[in-house]
Amino acid sequence: MTDQEKDDVGKQANNFAKYTGMAFQMLATIGLFTFIGYKIDERQPHNKAIYAALFGFLGVVVSLYWVIRSLTKKRNLNK
């Protein structure tokens, strides 16, 4: 294996770890926000999971913001 091939394999492994970490961060963020909404819904007198849905959507928005910010920051550093 040449040095170039070793570098390519190392970059692929680094990218895999980075993007897998981002996916788990998104999952945790969405799950946490949804759990908070679920707990609020448990204390309310209505039968619908309104807060769980709203907080779940907010979790999606926040996690996408963090991912986009992270990707654009990395791109600007590489220029």
Is 22 part of any domain? Answer: no
In a domain, 45, yes or no: yes
Separation CA 27–CA 20 (nearest Å): 11
- Return d(Cα 19, Cα 2) in angstroms, integer: 26
Residue 18 lies in a domain: no
Is 79 part of any domain? Answer: no
**One digit per residue, pLDDT tens: the chain, 79 residues?**
676 676 677 777 788 888 899 999 999 999 999 999 999 999 998 889 999 999 999 999 999 999 999 888 866 666 5
Domain total in the chain: 1
**What gap in Å lies between CA 72 and CA 28, rounded to an integer?**
21
Domain hosting 39: range is: 31-73
Q: Supply the pTM of this predicted model.
A: 0.78
